Amino acid sequence: MNEQYGRYTVITGASAGIGAAAARAFAARGHSLVLIARRTARLETLRDEIHAAYPSLDIIIKTVDLSVTNSVLQVYDEVKDLPIGTWINNAGFGSYGTIGAQDLSKIRQMIHLNIETLTILSNLFVRDFADAEGAQLINISSVGGYLIVPSVVTYCATKFYVSAFTEGLAHELAARGAKLRAKLLAPAATQTEFGAVANDNPAYDYDKAFGTYHTSAQMAEFLLALYDSDAVLGIVDRETLAFRLCAGQLPYAGGSARNQKVSD
Ligand SMILES: NC(=O)c1ccc[n+]([C@@H]2O[C@H](COP(=O)([O-])OP(=O)(O)OC[C@H]3O[C@@H](n4cnc5c(N)ncnc54)[C@H](OP(=O)(O)O)[C@@H]3O)[C@@H](O)[C@H]2O)c1
């Protein structure tokens, strides 16, 4: 089991779903928290709930729209001097619809949040915490980051990016002997607000849409199993819903003689 380097776990998208469940799960492990999302009231309710159960923990909430780059940079600056052990880039959303018939404003925001914000925050955390003993960066991808799912191709493409970026980062960190570990979680259908947001349907029903799915609390348990492991990837099998921990799954050209020679 990994020793936690610092006292704080930062979770983006902590006001609902997997992020809120992860907050409860990491608090139960004794981690203080920085919880980031747009809905202040949700964050306050979660903070008060966790604080009542674990009064010794420090629970910091940050109301931030992470699709605004300046706000992303600002919130990182506000928290970077805390003793952070784990950073979880969880904030993200999906959008159903065929290409050509999509709401361009929505998919631009999705690409910005799922790709650009995750990349910026990952870069900043690696810059500052690469040599921190026990530090972990966990990015939330999806089984849709390893498999193209019909009617949700653009979202899957954003998650393919998350998978490639994070697996590549894990290779880079290992190659340079960094202490920081980069990992990623790839959930399948999980009952959260994801379905309502992705389909613009507040009455979205996971029983009708999928029949079987995980709860966000189950996904948080998988996240803890990934955190405790030396695996790079924790992925759910979309057909059986079985969870497994494994090495990265994407092809990697490390060690190839065809790679660019680096000149001094
Ligand atoms: N549920 C699934 O079936 C499933 C499957 C595979 C992968 N995932 C991934 O799991 C992650 C968590 O999703 P979820 O299922 O827990 O969905 P969710 O219940 O809709 O939660 C999404 C979280 O992201 C936050 N968020 C959204 N836009 C934001 C923004 N612009 N700025 C800051 N925070 C923002 C939301 O908070 P506010 O609205 O308060 O900002 C919320 O806390 C996502 O990356 C998603 O792609 C989910």
Residue range 68-72: average pLDDT? 98
109-147: burial string, b at 16+ Cβ within 10 Å, e else: bbbbbbbbbbbbbbebbbebbbebeebbbbbbbbbbbbe
Closest atom of ligand 1 to 18 CA is 16
Q: pLDDT confidence of 147, banded at 50, 70, 90?
A: very high
Look at residue 261 and tell me if it is in a domain.
Answer: no
Look at residue 254 and tell me if it is in a domain.
Answer: no
Distance 91 CA to ligand 1 centre (A): 5
| Residue nearest ligand 1's atom 44 by CA | 92
Identify which of 18, 110, 148 to mutate to test ligand 1's pocket (most ligand atoms within 8 A of the CB): 18
Look at residue 259 and tell me if it is in a domain.
Answer: no
State the SS3 of the chain: CCCCCCCEEEEECCCCHHHHHHHHHHHHCCCEEEEEECCHHHHHHHHHHHHHHCCCCCEEEEECCCCCHHHHHHHHHHHCCCCEEEEEECCCCCCCCCCCCCCHHHHHHHHHHHHHHHHHHHHHHHHHHCCCCCCEEEEECCHHHCCCCCCCHHHHHHHHHHHHHHHHHHHHHHHCCCCCEEEEEECCCEECCHHHHHHCCCCCCHHHHCCCCEEHHHHHHHHHHHHHCCCCEEEECCCCCCEEEECCCCCCCCCCCCCCCCCC
Q: pLDDT confidence of 6, banded at 50, 70, 90?
A: low
What pLDDT, on the 0 to 100 scale, is given for residue 261? 87
Residue range 57-77: average pLDDT? 98
What pLDDT, on the 0 to 100 scale, is given for residue 264? 61
What pLDDT, on the 0 to 100 scale, is given for residue 4? 47
pLDDT 10s digits, 100-138: 999 999 999 999 999 999 999 999 999 999 999 999 999
Look at residue 263 and tell me if it is in a domain.
Answer: no
Contacts of residue 86, Cβ cutoff 8 Å, sequence gap at least 6: 4, 6, 8, 9, 10, 26, 31, 135, 136, 137, 138, 227
What pLDDT, on the 0 to 100 scale, is given for residue 115? 98
Enclosing domain of residue 192: 8-246
Look at residue 13 and tell me if it is in a domain.
Answer: yes
Closest atom of ligand 1 to 12 CA is 34
Q: pLDDT confidence of 262, banded at 50, 70, 90?
A: confident
Tell which residue, 136, 145, 249, has the closest CA to residue 187. Answer: 145
- Would you say the CB of residue 13 lies under 6 angstroms from ligand 1? yes
What pLDDT, on the 0 to 100 scale, is given for residue 81? 97
Look at residue 255 and tell me if it is in a domain.
Answer: no
If one counts the domains in the chain, the total is 1
The CATH number of whichever domain residue 144 belongs to comes to: 3.40.50.720
Q: What is the C-alpha to C-alpha distance for residues 60 and 231, in angstroms, rounded to an integer? A: 29
Closest atom of ligand 1 to 114 CA is 45
Instruction: Indicate the range of 190-204, 214-228, 250-264 predicted with least confidence.
Output: 250-264
Tell which residue, 71, 187, 86, has the closest CA to residue 129. Answer: 86
Distance 38 CA to ligand 1 centre (A): 11
Please state the pTM of the whole predicted model.
0.97
Contact 95, 198 (CB under 8 A): yes
- Would you say the CB of residue 18 lies under 6 angstroms from ligand 1? yes
Distance 214 CA to ligand 1 centre (A): 15
pLDDT 10s digits, 184-214: 999 999 999 999 999 999 999 999 999 999 9
- Would you say the CB of residue 50 lies under 6 angstroms from ligand 1? no
Residue range 57-83: average pLDDT? 98
> To 10 degrees, what angle do helices 17-28 and 40-53 make?
20
Summary mean pLDDT of the chain: 96
Look at residue 176 and tell me if it is in a domain.
Answer: yes
pLDDT 10s digits, 11-40: 999 999 999 999 999 999 999 999 999 999
Tell which residue, 246, 222, 236, has the closest CA to residue 147. Answer: 236
- Would you say the CB of residue 218 lies under 6 angstroms from ligand 1? no
Closest atom of ligand 1 to 94 CA is 47
Distance 80 CA to ligand 1 centre (A): 22
3 pLDDT above the threshold of 90: no
Look at residue 264 and tell me if it is in a domain.
Answer: no
Tell which residue, 79, 14, 73, 18, has the closest CA to residue 44. Answer: 14
